[in-house]
Amino acid sequence: MAELGELQETLGYTFRDESLLRLAMTHPSASGKKSIPTGDNQRMEFLGDAILQAVISDALYTLHPDRDEGTLTKARAALVNGTSLAAKAAPFGLEEHLVMSRGQRADFERGKVSALEDALEALVAALFLDGGMDAASDFVRRTFAEELANPDKIEAIKNPKGELQELLQAESEEAPTYEMLSSTGPDHDREFEVVVKHLGQALGQGKGSSKKAAETEAALAALAKAQDC
């Protein structure tokens, strides 16, 4: 693990309680076979995720009063998905600051996106716990400044169905299913409506000019709903 002073310099923030930063950079594998609530960054990841959602939602809402709910929801979903957060973690060098078991370090590439996503979320929580919402909000807004200023340039989630499946299968091995609700309109201008379900529960609905488009919209709706929870 690299020196925390170097990381704080990169972040542009000096922690009053450096143990919070150290905990945020502790991967669950460092606790052994079972994650320990007070021994790794999983609890902080939970808190940081909620703070990220709140700050990004507030920024998009405030900066773009002319945008509707659907546009803002899609922009937020694209910013806080795993691939986006992992990419934002890279310039801060979070990978080299992560504490993990030797075995996990050797296999790091396989779970790299998830680990960096969790680390960034935990870092946001550490900033909040150390310096309050102002510190956390300042960091998030600086990190996503370009995207927040120009939501039209935010790269949409390339594979919503894949993102949703990855999210759900972190909790259960069962994959989500897509069911047709309706198909209306003339043959040359059909509109399909689809619902995505997981473990018997409806997660989101979508409409589109093809089954594939409707399934994509349903997956996006489910991702947005998961982020609001």
Q: Which of 121, 163, 215, 217 is the catalytic position?
A: 121
Alpha-carbon gap, residue 218 to 122, rounded angstroms: 29
- 121 catalytic residue (yes or no): yes
pLDDT of 110 above 90? no
- 109 catalytic residue (yes or no): no
* Residue written as token pair 């680390």: 119
Give the CA distances from residue 104 to residues 30, 146, 170, 207, in Å, rounded to whole numbers and listed in that order. Answer: 9, 33, 17, 41
pLDDT for residue 1:
47
pLDDT for residue 61:
95
CA atoms within 13 A on the CB side of 172: 8
Task: Give mean pLDDT, residues 56-75.
Answer: 90
CA atoms within 13 A on the CB side of 3: 5
pLDDT confidence of 28, banded at 50, 70, 90?
confident
pLDDT of 108 above 70? no
pLDDT of 71 above 50? yes
Q: 3-state class of 66 per DSSP?
A: coil
pLDDT digits (tens, 9 = 90+) for 1-19: 457 889 999 999 999 999 9
Which of 15-29, 102-116, 145-159: highest mean pLDDT? Answer: 15-29
**C-alpha closest to that of 210 among 188, 177, 225, 226:** 188
Alpha-carbon torsion (5, 119, 40, 45), positive or negative: positive
- Lowest average pLDDT, out of 22-26, 104-108, 209-213, goes to 104-108
Domains, the chain, in order of start with CATH, read 4-153 (1.10.1520.10), 160-228 (3.30.160.20)
pLDDT for residue 165:
85
pLDDT digits (tens, 9 = 90+) for 147-204: 999 888 777 666 788 878 878 877 788 889 999 999 998 877 888 999 999 998 999 8
Alpha-carbon torsion (105, 109, 111, 113), positive or negative: positive
Measure the CA angle with vertex 144, ends 141 and 147; round to 5°. Answer: 125
Q: Which of 49, 117, 147, 215 is the catalytic position?
A: 49
7: which 2 tokens? 């990381």
**C-alpha closest to that of 20 among 170, 108, 162, 125:** 125
